[in-house]
Amino acid sequence: MHQVKFDPSTLRALTSRTVIITGGAGGIGAATAKVFNEHGANVVIADIPIFEEKANKIIDSLPYPSKALFVPVDILDWEQMTTLFKRTIQIFGALHVVIANAGIMESAEVLDLDDVDGDGNLRESEEAFKVIDVNLKGTLNTSTSGYFGGTGVSAYVSSKHGMIGLLRGSQKAARKYGVSVKAIAPFFTPTRITAGFADKWKEAGLEGNTPEMVGTAIAQSAMSHTESGSCILESS
């Protein structure tokens, strides 16, 4: 596993930069917003509308709340995403970093052959399709589930493996337009969507990350001008 080493000099480059963070109203997204903001960056927290109050509380708690705002957005809606980018540039004058952090996980086992209807027919997993849509279409960020598949959440693991391919497949266009595209794959990090596994992980005596640790790794990677196309496995 590759561990990102903290380099304060890299983070100083965040001053006056502008970043969009999808899924920014909680967990790793919120922690990343704080890291960027406390180093002087303009932060746009993009999340679904129901998290507006939560996002505004996060903004109020930031060191520089005047340099942050919330934009409600559905990452599967192309028009809303286009508006998100345009609004960011209109307000802050430029956009330097985009962190595709938003993601979801299924709440029930997808490959459950006992999940049948009244006629004994296997039910289609609509929830699994939503997970793949959000995680694969909506974000280029990834997690350790892109490498390992032992958690039992089949749709989530599949979507993360797909994002490794998306990361690699984007490099030709990225080079053409002078854009660096990379990913951080966090080791187990307790957040809202991993709450069901957190206690068992802790009881087993296993180490994990904190959202703040991952946020720092994301910020440092965003300021690095190398490693485009790589997915860094962030361990505790």
Q: Is the pLDDT of residue 42 over 50?
A: yes
- H/E element holding 205? none
pLDDT tens column, 9-41: 778 888 989 999 999 999 999 999 999 999 999
Catalytic residues: 156
Domains located in the chain, CATH noted: 8-106+125-234 (3.40.50.720)
Whether residue 47 contacts residue 192, with contact meaning beta carbons closer than 8 Å, is answered with no
Q: Looking at per-residue confidence, does 62 or 169 come out higher?
A: 62
The torsion of the CA quartet 57, 62, 66, 68, rounded to 10 degrees, works out to: -70
- Which pLDDT value is given to residue 167? 80
89: confidence class by pLDDT, cuts 50, 70, 90: very high
Give the C-alpha separation, 174 to 197, whole Å. Answer: 36
Strand order in the sheet with 18-22: 68-72, 42-47, 18-22, 97-99
56: confidence class by pLDDT, cuts 50, 70, 90: very high
- Which pLDDT value is given to residue 22? 93
- Which pLDDT value is given to residue 86? 92
